[in-house]
Chain A
Amino acid sequence: MRPSYFINFMMGIYIFIFFAYLFGPLIIMSITAFNSAEFPSITPWECFSFRWFNEGKIAYDGQHLAGLLSDWRLHDGIISSLIIGAGVVTLSVPIGMAAAIVLTQVRSQLRDIYYSISIMPVLFPGVIIGISTVVLWDRIAGLGGEGFIADIGRNGIFLTILAQTCFISTYCFLIFVARLQRFDQTQEEAALDLGASQTQVFFKILVPYLSPAIASAAVIAFLFSFENYNTTVFSILSDQTLTTVIASKVRLGISPALSALALTIIALTIIAAVTYEVLRRRAEKRYTESQEKFVKEKAADNRINKKYKVGFKIPKGITAILLIVVFATYGATQIVKNDLYGQSCIDAADKEKKSKFLEQLQTLESNELTDEELSGGSLGGNQDYGDIFGDPSLFQDFGGFD
């Protein structure tokens, strides 16, 4: 199929817009992490700084804005997210594996029903899974008096592990089902014929065959658990995970520390993705090389073995890296030239803000003391306050208290 050049061109533009939509917000957010201003923005660029990755800042009006390193609530959240992730992996991978293996043994009449029940949890909205778990365990805890069960039934981390396992098991199940479809049953039969017991067959044949699926199911389970919000926010009760901490932060007002956190997560994701891709390509290359070797050995004449001259080719990746380097050096020189980096810049910006703040305070005070206004004359104070209370957009950006 060869579309005309015009259509190709339009398609190129469309793809560019689409990917700009996917990546643009993330890139802009990453840039705002380096701006020292309190509000994540680009255009009033204050100073280039790493403060949001480190200790944050104390604003001119005394408000403390925590950075990544100094935010203990975030650290607690990450720790409980990790615990929950580990718990979910240990529960949902075995469950998914068992359910997938049993699927191959269920009678064909029952298979559809069995399959439907297994994938049902993914189709439930996440909030419902969270609510139903909490409701049930609250009842169980209420029945048990003051003992161990009551403690466990009101433990947010335990409930979150159960609630997340409910639907993450399904993802594991699907991974195992996909792998089992390519399983060669004769291997089992051969082992049985050679005198292995059923248990041995399971541990020596099936589990090794499924081990790649076990690994990927564990990774998927952990990632889904780590970034889940809809279920967790109900089942976590009074504890906090990373996602609930982020949500409560966003609700109180947006801060560049969140941009810094997001950039850290993005960097980790990209590194993981690149490593995975490199490893996969290496394995693939090794495989094709062994295949080629096999073909060459078998080839009767020398035609295939002839070496072809390979022209020099610039890999696409290099161009991208070069572009990034050029832009980065350009940005860095600009920043240094305009004295936008380092303590001096930050101090200057802070001083300016402080003086503005003091000025405002003074105007407020002087307004208060004007006799004419106190005596109930013309209440012309509105202009002096900059009409902040008349500004309709003042509270509209505020996320509300929900």
Chain B
Amino acid sequence: MNNFLFTQPFFKKNGKAVAIYFLVAIIFWFVFLVIIPQFYMLDLSFRTNVPPLARGGPEDYYTFEHYSHFIFGSKTATDAFNFVDLGVFGRTIFVSMLVTIANLLFCYPIAFYIAKIANPSTARLLIVSLIIPFWINELLRSFALRILFANEGVINNFLTGVGLLDQGILFITYDIGLYTGLIYAYILLMMFPLYNAIESLDINQIEAAKDLGSSSFRTHWRIVIPHAKPGIVSGCTMVFMLTVGALATPVVLSSPNTLWFPQLIYQWFNMNDNWSRGSAYSIILLIVSVIFVLTMMRIFKVRIGEIIK
């Protein structure tokens, strides 16, 4: 086993005590914290929802009920498909993609400026001021936006006070607050991979392109962006995954009429006490996330190690 798994004999290399500590820690993490819970959740998502006492009894059997509920709705419903849940799901994915693209577009100029144009002291100042908002709780950041966007909030009060509007805009009702908040929440996870990737580009390449008569747009398209590709993929993946799985921001900012997909999971799980269905919906979310990561890796030909550093 030793020669198969490790470059050197494991116990001899580390000493017995330390080797045992390594093995215990890693097995505890991989097996008990990562793998078994996921498999158990997968198992539960195929079971009927029964109270704890009835487990193992005749009513506890395997079924596709929860997945078919997601697609076709409950058995008594008249619609052909479960338009409510599918709508929430589709909207979540679609908006997350838009949020990711918006983040990329917003961050690219700043990342390029900090990495290549600004002088070092300004760059350091900008980086520190980028990090500070990131350490503040996601909920509290969303709350800050909520103060701005509420119907009696700062923006509406200002606009009506100045006389631009007679009545406030319903930012929360139309989910404008939610979209702004989602872009706001994870923008720094786009910024840092982008910055790191652009920073490693040799400035002589840009100079050379300029000298050879390339326009500024062309330089970015042909030199900077291809070089920054791993950073772009990494940033997009992180932002998309976090946005799809976001719960804190929608809880604070979404309008009462619309749901974000994790909120739907939360409802099945905590309000309706249907853990099996909650698990099934979680598995659906997980599958989407995995498909997204694999697609990004396939399209842009990067390895998983390059996505997270």
A→B interface (CB under 8 Å): 1, 3, 7, 11, 14-15, 18-19, 21-23, 25-26, 28-29, 32, 39-44, 94-95, 97-99, 101-102, 105-108, 110, 112, 115-117, 119-129, 131-133, 135-136, 138-139, 142, 162, 165-166, 169, 174, 197-199, 201-202, 223, 227, 229-230, 233-234, 243, 246-247, 250-251, 254, 258-259, 261-262, 265-266, 269-270, 273, 277, 316, 393, 395-400, 402
Contacts and interface: CB of A to CB of B under 8 A. Distances in A.
Nearest to A102: B22
Given A3-B117, A246-B139, A265-B140, A40 B255 contact: no
Interface string B187-217: 1000000000000000100110010000010
A251 B38 CA distance: 30
B217 to A, nearest CB: 12
Given A229-B248, A234-B269, A117 B30 contact: yes
Contacts of A258: 140, 143
Contact of A95 (B25, B168, B290): B25
B136 A265 contact: yes
Contacts of A202: 14-15, 18
By DSSP majority rule, is chain B's interface helix, strand, loop, or mixed? helix
B110 A229 contact: no
Interface string B129-147: 1111101111111111111
A110 B5 contact: yes
6 contacts: A15-B126, A26-B144, A39-B152, A110-B5, A273-B131, A273-B132
A138 B8 CA distance: 41
A189 to B, nearest CB: 12
B133 A132 contact: no
Contacts of A398: 256
Nearest to B206: A1
Nearest to A242: B137
A402 B271 contact: yes
Interface stretch (B64-72, B73-81, B82-90, B279-287): B279-287
B141 A26 contact: yes
Given A41-B147, A127-B265, A105 B173 contact: no
Contacts of B290: 123
B285 A396 contact: no
Given A127-B262, A166-B34, A25 B136 contact: no
A13 B242 CA distance: 29
B146 A42 contact: no
Sort A-B residue pairs by CB-CB distance and give the 9 closest, nearest first: A125-B245, A198-B15, A132-B37, A25-B144, A400-B256, A98-B25, A199-B15, A29-B144, A132-B41
Contacts of A400: 256
A22 B133 contact: yes
Given A3-B216, A230-B247, A41 B26 contact: no
A63 B262 CA distance: 33
B27 to A, nearest CB: 10
B262 A125 contact: yes
By DSSP majority rule, is chain A's interface helix, strand, loop, or mixed? helix
A42 B157 contact: yes
A95 B147 CA distance: 41
Contacts of A106: 5-7
A395 B256 CA distance: 9
A119 B304 contact: yes
Interface in B244-288: 244-248, 251-252, 255-256, 259, 262-263, 265-267, 269-271, 275, 278-279, 282, 285-286
A99 B31 CA distance: 13
A98 B246 CA distance: 30
A143 to B, nearest CB: 10
A36 to B, nearest CB: 16
Contacts of B138: 227, 229
A383 B14 CA distance: 83
A27 to B, nearest CB: 9
Interface in B11-31: 12-18, 21-22, 25-26, 28-30
B293 interface: yes
Given A99-B25, A105-B6, A29 B308 contact: no
A259 to B, nearest CB: 7
A173 to B, nearest CB: 9
B241 interface: yes
B152 A397 contact: yes
A135 B37 contact: yes
A243 B55 CA distance: 33
B89 to A, nearest CB: 13
Contact of A247 (B12, B22, B248): B248
Contacts of B30: 117
Contacts of A197: 15
Given A41-B147, A233-B266, A142 B137 contact: no
Given A132-B40, A165-B29, 12 more contacts: A11-B113, A22-B133, A22-B187, A110-B5, A121-B34, A128-B282, A128-B285, A133-B37, A136-B37, A251-B251, A254-B150, A396-B151
Contacts of B248: 229-230, 243, 247
B139 to A, nearest CB: 5
A125 B145 CA distance: 23
Contact of A250 (B18, B146, B308): B146
